[in-house]
Structure 1
Amino acid sequence: MKVLLEIPDHKASSLMEVLQSISYVRAKPLTEAKAILLEEIREAVEEMQLIKAGKKQARNAEDFLNEL
């Protein structure tokens, strides 16, 4: 199982030490860029689920591209 934790920077090193001391746990910090990417992907998946459930309306692809 994989778990993503959000920990304040000033507490992260002590938690990483604890996690790394457990033989069956592999822990490695994410770079800020990867953390941002994962958050954006999570938000996109949630938005797609809302659209599929009919709770949110999808945007026209042409409008989206014109916005860029």
Structure 2
Amino acid sequence: METLIVYPTKEQEKVVTAFLEALNVQFEKKKEVLPHHVLSGIKKGQSDIKNGDTFTFEEFKQQLSVSK
């Protein structure tokens, strides 16, 4: 048995599901959830932006070159 992992859009999902059902292929739907540390990092970044704690890409490159 092989495993296929596909990432259809909502529109495509309906077609793929109907196709698999028509062929009597067993499948399962799983909602992909990001790990907790990723979600907390996103929330922190959004909070930083809201609080104005940001810098430009040029400032980032300057800091990066100084740290080498």
Q: TM-score, normalised by structure 1?
A: 0.41
The structure with higher relative contact order (CA 8 Å, sep 6+) is 1
More helix by share: 1
Larger Rg: 2
